[in-house]
């Protein structure tokens, strides 16, 4: 399937490598990570060695110099790690908090932060959302003020993934309140900076990810920690969001397919009214509905991957793909809970966890409503 | 809120008293009880003193006079605390006692009903098994007659209040296969061979849900409810009240989620104005309000029919599905309108979102409701 995307020997080998890591190092410890509320950070250097953390990045920084099709393989295989929170934490590092650093960062900044991030020696987080500004990114208030060669940063961020494990944060700040969209800058803040603190937040799902509220009190970082140009942070983040949303677009259908397979097996074995559930017409039609939607979502995501491989802007398609794959993932999770009956409500079952995990997809990385706003704008309305 | 044709002054007075109690004694503690996985046992005694537990049960066994709309008022007001698990556990006798009261012997009623209505004992209904949920007629727990005793072996699953219960009104197989071989038996949980394990769930955290095991439990034959092998009929008739009360819970939970959301969208600002100023938000709220009103009015109507004694199996099944769909929809939109906060523990809508997912599974799944309805309209 999709030989044009994943057809080469290199793709096959890379998928095997990631799959082996996911099946041996992540999946068996999935519930342990839930209890810890985070991934075991010592796995990052292993992922670095396997080439999972710098897939598209320039080899001169330790990246693999590959294209988006290899990233898609990473996202799909991570969906099988049996822990949506862990998969999210890893992809925040690879595709949400570092793309702007790679694309816009200075040589020195990349040597300082990107090189160790690709090796897995440093873990990254992205700090955009604030208590008073989620979808409305331009409404953020965290302020960075110039003081000689330093920035002095004050403010707070909320719902930040990797809050506990991160070594640095790609932080969006206001640097010129009067310059509107040209008044934001993206600044790297190491988490051992004085004045930085975080508290973890408990969530309904994604138990394996450390989500936190970050507080910055007179945090001082050098001005050269600015990613790209001062004043261009908002625009750079909008570009970085495209990579972030592509993760959800590709990973959600893969996760849905995994749950589909688990549930199919359950229904083939569970007997009610004298026959397996899978022999009931209503059940069979549910599976047909699920697979149809999963396939459509996956193909739309692949379309985005192809566009990105060609270097084309895919904002419209990625927004639609995130919206659609989210809807499919939630539909599949809900249907699989239902097909599992009472077991589907018990936390030890994948369907129950998927139900609460997938709920986040409609909110994080840009809500469904924001995706619709983007689509409406881009089609000229 | 209550429509004039269903609610009198007595209902209104009762509503005010429950609302006051809930606001003072339950709402301030609900977060802690949810996180702890249970509420204090004393709440049963308190609920008995308030006349809640006895509501609608015969006065000679400690009941309190009241009609079905008093029970609806109680459920609606309890759910104002923002948890579906609490009323499910606190009122689990509402599904476990009626078979005893309706079909049980005088002796059985005297032994088991007053202690529950006074809040001293807790009871649970045990029907579902690991391998028989919707398919009740296929249950496997076996009770074999041995002189004055039944010896019970088997297991029950997803039993609300099953860990804390003092006795279980359990469905057991006393005869051959199928629905004709099922009886209801009262099994006390201090019977040797009885054990229970608590199950971890997506929601309903403050209600204990158990997997129960019977290992050669010796139960007095006098604990049989009604006649041997007539249990399936008793269970089915009991399901009607249960399903109706689940529908009421759904509508009440949707109402709470809706009110929480209204509060949020009026204060939360985005893009320079309160959320409520956005057309999409306003239309979402309209959809929520419309579905709630429709589901509520239909549920009241069916409750009224049910109370009049008319056979309304079809309407009860339909009301459950309508109310479940309403609650699922409203809770989901409520989370969405709360944004990131809606995904965080401690937000009322987050809890309602998790709690309501089981409403389309428990007490008969959506699919079973459709089976029942299809049989009744396609006969």
Q: For A274-294, how does the pLDDT look when each residue is reduced to its tens digit (9 = 90+)? A: 999 999 999 999 999 999 999
Q: For A80-97, how does the pLDDT look when each residue is reduced to its tens digit (9 = 90+)? A: 999 999 999 999 999 999
For B339, name the nearest residue in chain A, comparing CA atoms only.
A363
Q: What is the mean pLDDT of chain B?
A: 95
- How far is Cα of residue A184 from the mean position of the Cα atoms in its chain? 23
CA-wise closest residue to B9 among B53, B76, B73: B73
CA-wise closest residue to B349 among B367, B327, B370, B368: B327
For A360, name the nearest residue in chain B, comparing CA atoms only.
B343
Q: Is the CB of A348 inside 8 Å of chain B's CB atoms?
A: yes
Helices B348-356 & B231-267 angle (0-180, nearest 10)? 150
- Cβ-based contacts of A369 with chain B (< 8 Å): 280, 336
Candidate from A136, A272, A341 with C-beta closest to B361: A341
Q: What angle do CA A302, A305, A307 make, to 5 degrees?
A: 115
Would you place residue B38 in the very low, low, confident or very high pLDDT band (cuts 50, 70, 90)?
Answer: very high
- Cβ-based contacts of A213 with chain B (< 8 Å): none
Q: State residue A4's pLDDT score.
A: 82
Task: State the complex-level ipTM.
Answer: 0.77
Q: State residue B246's pLDDT score.
A: 97
Q: For B289-342, how does the pLDDT look when each residue is reduced to its tens digit (9 = 90+)? A: 999 999 999 999 999 999 999 999 999 999 999 999 999 999 999 999 999 999
* pLDDT mean by block of 10 residues, chain A; 381 residues: 84 97 98 97 98 98 97 98 98 98 98 98 98 91 97 98 98 96 97 98 96 98 97 96 96 98 97 93 94 94 95 95 96 98 96 98 94 92 86
Q: State residue B1's pLDDT score.
A: 47
- Residue positions of A annotated with a catalytic role: 244
- Once rounded to an integer, what is the mean pLDDT over residues B133-142? 92
Would you place residue B224 in the very low, low, confident or very high pLDDT band (cuts 50, 70, 90)?
Answer: very high
Measured distance CA(A327)–CA(B218) in Å, rounded = 52
Q: State residue B351's pLDDT score.
A: 97
Measured distance CA(A81)–CA(A39) in Å, rounded = 11
Q: State residue B184's pLDDT score.
A: 98
Q: What angle do CA A8, A9, A12 make, to 5 degrees?
A: 95
- Once rounded to an integer, what is the mean pLDDT over residues B85-99? 97
Residue B187 corresponds to which tokens in the numbers above?
């099994």
Half-sphere exposure of A216 (CA within 13 A, CB side): 30
DSSP letters along A162-203, please? TTTT-SEEEEEEES-TTSGGGSEEEEEEETTSTTEEEEE--B
For A367, name the nearest residue in chain B, comparing CA atoms only.
B339
Q: State residue A332's pLDDT score.
A: 98
Q: State residue A20's pLDDT score.
A: 98
> Inter-chain contact B128–A342, Cβ cutoff 8 Å?
yes
Torsion angle defined by CA atoms of residues B323, B329, B332 and B335, in that order, rounded to the nearest 10 degrees = -80
> Inter-chain contact B358–A363, Cβ cutoff 8 Å?
no
> How many residue pairs bridge chain A and chain B with CB atoms within 8 Å of each other?
102
β pairing state of B149-160 and B194-198: unpaired
For residue B108, the distance in angstroms to the closest alpha carbon of chain A comes to 31
Question: Which backbone phi and psi does B340 adopt, to 5 degrees?
Answer: -50, -40
Instruction: Classify the phi-psi angles of B52: left when phi > 0, otherwise alpha if psi is within -120 to 50, otherwise beta.
Output: alpha
Residue A253 corresponds to which tokens in the numbers above?
């259908």
> Inter-chain contact A204–B269, Cβ cutoff 8 Å?
no
Q: For A124-166, how does the pLDDT look when each residue is reduced to its tens digit (9 = 90+)? A: 999 999 999 988 899 999 999 999 999 999 999 999 999 999 9
A contact test, residue of B367, B370, B373 with most A CBs within 10 A: B367
Res B3 pLDDT > 80: no
Res B7 pLDDT > 80: yes
């Amino acid at each position: 399937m999709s030989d044009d995307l994943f057809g080469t020997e290199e793709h096959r080998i890379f998928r095997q490598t990631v799959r082996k890591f996911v099946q041996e190092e992540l999946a068996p410890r999935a519930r342990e990570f839930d209890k810890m509320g985070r991934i075991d950070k010592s796995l990052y250097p292993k992922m670095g060695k396997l080439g999972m953390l710098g897939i598209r990045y320039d080899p001169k920084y330790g990246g693999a110099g590959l294209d988006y099709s290899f990233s898609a393989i990473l996202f799909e295989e991570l969906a099988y790690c049996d822990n949506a929170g862990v998969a999210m934490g890893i992809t925040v590092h690879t595709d949400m908090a570092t793309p702007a650093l790679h694309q816009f960062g200075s040589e020195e900044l990349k040597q300082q932060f990107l090189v160790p991030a690709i090796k897995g020696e440093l873990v990254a987080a992205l700090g955009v959302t604030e208590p008073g500004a989620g979808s409305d990114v331009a409404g953020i208030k965290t302020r960075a003020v110039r003081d000689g060669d330093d920035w002095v940063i004050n403010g707070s961020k909320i719902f930040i993934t990797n809050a506990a494990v991160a070594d640095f944060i790609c932080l969006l700040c206001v640097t010129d309140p009067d310059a509107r969209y040209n008044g934001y800058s993206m600044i790297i803040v190491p988490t051992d900076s004085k004045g930085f603190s975080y508290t973890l937040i408990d969530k309904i799902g994604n138990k394996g990810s450390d989500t936190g509220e970050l507080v910055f009190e007179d945090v001082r970082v050098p001005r050269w920690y600015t990613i790209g140009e001062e004043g261009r942070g908002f625009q750079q983040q909008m570009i970085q969001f495209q990579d972030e949303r592509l993760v959800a677009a590709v990973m959600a259908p893969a996760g849905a397919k995994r749950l589909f397979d688990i549930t199919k097996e359950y229904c083939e074995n569970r007997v009610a009214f004298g026959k397996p559930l899978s022999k009931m017409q209503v059940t069979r039609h549910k599976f047909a509905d699920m697979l149809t939607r999963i396939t459509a979502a996956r193909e739309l995501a692949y379309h985005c991957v192809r566009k990105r491989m060609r270097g084309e802007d895919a904002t419209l398609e990625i927004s639609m793909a995130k919206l659609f794959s989210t809807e499919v993932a939630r539909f599949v999770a809900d249907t699989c809970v239902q097909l599992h009956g009472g077991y589907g409500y018990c936390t030890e079952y994948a369907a129950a966890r998927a139900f609460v995990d997938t709920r986040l997809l409609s909110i994080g990385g840009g809500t469904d409503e924001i995706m619709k706003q983007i689509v409406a704008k881009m089609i000229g309305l | 809120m209550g429509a004039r044709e269903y609610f009198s002054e007595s209902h209104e007075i009762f509503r005010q008293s429950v609302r006051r109690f809930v606001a003072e004694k339950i709402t301030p503690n609900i977060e802690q009880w949810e996180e702890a996985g249970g509420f204090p046992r004393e709440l049963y005694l308190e609920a008995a003193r308030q006349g809640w537990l006895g509501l609608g049960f015969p006065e000679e066994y400690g009941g309190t006079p009241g009609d079905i709309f008093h029970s609806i008022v109680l459920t609606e007001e309890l759910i104002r605390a923002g948890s579906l698990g609490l009323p499910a556990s606190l009122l689990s006798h509402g599904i476990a006692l009626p078979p005893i009261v309706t079909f049980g012997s005088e002796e059985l009623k005297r032994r088991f009903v007053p202690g529950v209505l006074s809040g001293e004992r807790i009871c649970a209904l045990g029907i579902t098994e690991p391998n028989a949920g919707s398919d009740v007629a296929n249950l496997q727990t076996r009770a074999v007659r041995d002189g004055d005793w039944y010896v019970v072996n088997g297991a029950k699953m997803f039993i609300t209040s099953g860990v804390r219960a003092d006795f279980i009104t359990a469905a057991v197989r006393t005869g051959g296969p199928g629905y004709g071989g099922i009886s209801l038996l009262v099994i006390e949980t201090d019977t040797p061979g009885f054990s229970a394990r608590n199950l971890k769930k997506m929601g309903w955290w403050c209600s204990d849900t158990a997997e129960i095991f019977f290992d050669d439990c010796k139960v007095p034959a006098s604990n049989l409810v009604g006649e041997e092998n007539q249990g399936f009929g008793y269970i089915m008739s009991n399901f009607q009240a249960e399903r109706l009360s689940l529908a009421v819970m759904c509508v009440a939970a949707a109402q709470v989620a809706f009110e929480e959301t209204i509060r949020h969208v009026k204060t939360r600002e985005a893009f320079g104005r309160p959320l409520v100023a956005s057309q999409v938000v306003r239309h979402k709220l309209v959809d929520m309000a419309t579905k709630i009103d429709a589901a509520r009015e239909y549920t009241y109507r069916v409750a009224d029919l049910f109370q009049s004694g008319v056979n309304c199996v079809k309407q009860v099944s339909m009301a459950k599905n309508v109310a479940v769909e309403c609650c699922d929809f409203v809770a989901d939109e409520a989370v969405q309108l709360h944004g990131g906060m809606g995904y965080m523990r401690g937000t009322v809508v987050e809890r309602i979102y998790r709690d309501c997912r089981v409403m389309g599974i428990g007490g008969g799944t959506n699919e079973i409701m459709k089976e029942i309805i299809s049989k009744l309209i396609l006969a």
